[in-house]
Structure 1
Amino acid sequence: MSKKRLLIVTGLSGAGRSTVLHTLEDWDWEIVDKLPVDLLSDFVGHARSDGPFAVGIDSRTREFDPNELSKRVAEIEGVDPELLFLDCSDDEIVRRYDATRRRHPLAGDADAEAGIERERKLLAPLREVSDSIIDTTECSPAELRERLETSYGADKKPPVVQFLSFGFSDGVPRSADLVFDMRFLKNPYWEPNLRSLTGRDRDVRSYVEADPAYGETLDRIEALLEGLIPRYWAAGKNTLTVAFGCTGGRHRSVAAAEEMAGRLKGEDRTISIRHRDLVD
């Protein structure tokens, strides 16, 4: 029986622990932050058996003792433990705390520099025994995610592209990242034999496809999306919602969403379709 993968994420406050944990969670890791050290073994025992999991532990964790943490982790049965230490320059940590207007957790009544110095001394034993050290001084959140992918992204789920149809009469969906207005196309609603049908029906789709502007427009949208989607993934976005709208959300937008979903299928992404204004 293979051992569970356990990643302990620690390091300096302000160095990016939350970004790491959120990224791993997006990749379907089981995550818990600031878990009291004495509950670590219980958490591992109750964690699901089909995926990796990570625990965030730092100087704010209850019962935190850097000299004992490695020993306790080594005593847990059935896991393959790793220790990831996040480091960062003092000046950058000060800048980050200034930007968020938060007090460093170990500063007490002193300034952030004093808190950082105390924390470095406290965490020195963990840094020495870490399996990996990432210095985030010059890393944006997106760049940090890229660095994590090599070591921890092998089991992540493929990103999702959702194609969403809607009617402008009921408003633009707030979840949409990109919106394409299809109201310039000939409207099947004005054809009595098509009015009761939807863009899922072959007759409606044939009618919409017969519009000279339809094919050319979808070709351009396809080319645009093929160029943009990798950039969204690189920026750390795991779900992209592409919305197509028409007047009522039943004909043109539905046909376009169905068509584009078929065009954009690929092994590197999961495709989903939702028609907001259709009642099945």
Structure 2
Amino acid sequence: MTSEDFRLIVISGRSGSGKSTVLNTLEDAGFNCIDNLPPSMLPELVKWMSHSAVNKRIAVCIDVRLSTEGIGDLPEILDSLGSQISPEVLYLDADETMLLQRFSATRRKHPLTNAQNSLAEAIRQEGQYLVPIANRANLKIDTSTLSVQELREQVRNRLIQKPKGLALQFLSFGFKHGLPRDADLVFDVRCLPNPYWDKSLRMFTGRDKPIQDFLRNEAAVNEMYEDIRQFMTRWLPHYENNQRSYLTVAIGCTGGQHRSVYLAEQLSATFKEIYTSTHIRHRDLGQDTE
């Protein structure tokens, strides 16, 4: 059996971050899916699946719902599975305020709440238990601002269609709305000329021609683009050589409407010619302006 024959995806993350949506999406795509598996049972599952005639595309969800016991051992368990299997770990996260809102809206009980733990304390405690898994993850997705459909799209684009080579995502965002939790590289472009201060341009975004024309004619913007392009051209092969499968490159301006959107679009178009699995997401487009 080779890694081409056997694909194992391990899903983990905080309660309320969308794990059931991911598992359902993978199941719809033909994966054998198992929810709430104890970490210690993973080697036996892999052994059984290896010698069975069933579909060897497997997705398992491992988190703290059953027990916190052994959850920190998952990275070592994954490393013990053998060289012929390269498990992929997807970690889902969300802002604690958003998780509080989701639990309040659904009135579901958090697995770590009890007489001693409030919901907020349980959410924080769960994040601490899951740190080893988060650190081991190949791919992280912050679902704080994602709809169910957007999360499904992320899974289809970045996980189901397994990329050949490095899978890139360019993510524009606004610093005023917080740093993206799933970014691997962050570039701050707030120093660039801001079209927001031109009232005739304010209502447009970095995807619109008036903003593109404005920024394209600014020397500093072109220099920033070229510096980021050269940095990535030099270092992306090193990420690939280090067995990285996924990389999220975040470009941030003040509100995530103009400069970051424009540069993310330009960089995505450039690197899509080199890395075919290149996607773009504008996290804060449509939020209040700069």
Q: TM-score range by the shorter chain?
A: 0.5 to 0.7
2:81 aligned to which of 76, 79, 82: 76
Q: Distance in 1 between matches of 2:58 and 2:109?
A: 29
Deviations 1:153-177 (A, max 9, x none): 228xxxxxxxxxxxxxxxxxxxxxx
Distance 2:88 2:29 in 1: 17
Instruction: Return the alpha-carbon distance in structure 2 between the equivalents of residues 18 and 127 of structure 1.
Output: 18
- Cα deviation for residue 50 of structure 1 reads 4.1
Distance 1:120 1:70 in 2: 16
Report what 1:132 is aligned to: 139
Give the 3-state SS of the residue equivalent to 1:79 in structure 2: coil
- Cα distance change on mapping 1:18 and 1:93 into 2, 3 Å: same
Partners of 1:108 and 1:12 in 2: CA distance: 17
Structure 2 unaligned spans of 5+: 163-290
**2:166 match:** none
- Report the equivalent of 2:41: 39
Aligned identity (percent) is 33
Q: Give the number of the structure whose alpha-carbon radius of gyration is greater.
A: 1
Report which stretch shifted further, 103-112 or 4-13: 103-112
SS in 1 for 2:37: coil
Asked if the contact 2:72/2:129 (under 8 Å) is kept, the reply is no
Structure 2 residue identity aligned to 1:139 = L
Identify the residue that residue 54 of structure 1 maps to in structure 2. 59
SS of match in other structure, 2:87: strand
Q: Deviations over 1:110-139 (max 9, x none)?
A: 321111111111111221221111000011
CA distance in 1, matches of 2:18, 2:137: 16
33-42 or 141-150, larger mean C-alpha shift: 33-42
Q: Secondary structure at the match of 2:86?
A: strand
Alignment of 1:1-280 (within 5 A): 1-3=1-3, 4-47=6-49, 48=53, 50-62=55-67, 64-77=69-82, 78-109=84-115, 110-154=117-161
Cα distance in 2 for partners of 1:136, 1:70 equals: 23
Residues in 1 aligned to 2:69 and 2:21: alpha-carbon distance in whole angstroms? 21
Residue type of the partner of 1:86? L
2:240 aligned partner: none
| 1:63 to partner: Cα distance | 6.1
| Larger deviation, residues 60-69 vs 75-84 | 60-69
- Equivalent residues of 1:34, 1:62 under 8 A apart: no
Instruction: Give the CA deviation at 1:49.
Output: 5.5
- More deviation in 5-14 or 73-82? 73-82
CA distance 1:29–1:64, shift in 2 (3 Å): farther
2:273 alignment counterpart? none
Provide the alpha-carbon RMSD of the alignment: 1.8
TM-score by length of 2: 0.50
CA distance in 1, matches of 2:136, 2:127: 14
Question: What's 1:249 paired with?
Answer: none
C-alpha distance in 2, partners of 1:40/1:118?
24
Tell me if structure 1 keeps the 8 A contact 2:32–2:55. no
Gaps of 5+ in 1: 156-280
Between the aligned partners of 2:74 and 2:20, the Cα distance in structure 1 is 20
Q: Which residue type is aligned with residue 57 of structure 1?
A: I
Letter in 2 for 1:132: L
Is 2:13–2:92's contact at 8 Å kept on the other side of the alignment?
Answer: yes
Shift of 1:148: 0.7
Structure 1 runs of 4+ aligned residues shifted over 3 Å read: 48-51, 61-64
